[in-house]
């Protein structure tokens, strides 16, 4: 749909041969899922919010970020099982049992490592020092700091 075409256009504008979005990830079409679950019914975002009791009262006009947040809630309810979307390390809280490990081909191009310059490291440390003074319990990043 529109979103995939938009992403493909943005990738094209990078000016590098990165291909299309489906070269990098699998696309899940929430509208197709909704049409399969609710054939013959309205399946736009407003109708899905009403059907799944998702609050969309802040949605006066189309806004991509708000729509994406609302759609995430609808998607979780529509697909069942998982009831929250957690991007943290603790997968058990999200109701996830983990996923399959996908091995990358050995022939892929090596990733370019870009290290921070001395000036960037100094600016980073200065910022951590300022946070350390301002934070009641100190700066957690400074406490966890591993050699930069």
Rama region for 52: left / alpha / beta (φ>0; ψ in -120 to 50; rest): alpha
What the block records as the tokens of 10 is: 């943005």
Per DSSP, 106 falls in state: T
What the block records as the tokens of 87 is: 């991007």
Choosing from 24, 38, 62, 124, the catalytic residue is: 62
CA atoms of 49 and 43, how far apart (whole Å): 9
Is residue 62 annotated as part of the catalytic site, yes or no? Answer: yes
Q: Which residues are catalytic?
A: 62
């Amino acid at each position: 749909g529109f979103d995939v075409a938009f992403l493909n256009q943005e990738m094209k504008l990078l000016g590098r041969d990165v291909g299309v979005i489906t070269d990098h990830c699998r696309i899940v079409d929430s509208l197709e899922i909704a049409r399969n679950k609710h054939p013959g019914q309205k399946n736009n975002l407003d109708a899905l919010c009403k059907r799944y009791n998702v609050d969309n009262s802040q949605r006066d006009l189309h806004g991509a970020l708000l729509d994406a947040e609302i759609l995430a809630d609808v998607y979780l309810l529509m697909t069942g099982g998982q009831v929250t979307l957690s991007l943290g390390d603790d997968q058990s809280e999200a109701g996830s049992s983990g996923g399959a490990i996908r091995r990358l081909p050995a022939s892929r191009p090596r990733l370019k490592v870009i290290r921070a310059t001395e000036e960037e490291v100094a600016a980073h440390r200065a910022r951590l020092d300022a946070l350390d003074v301002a934070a009641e319990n100190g700066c957690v990043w400074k406490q966890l700091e591993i050699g930069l």
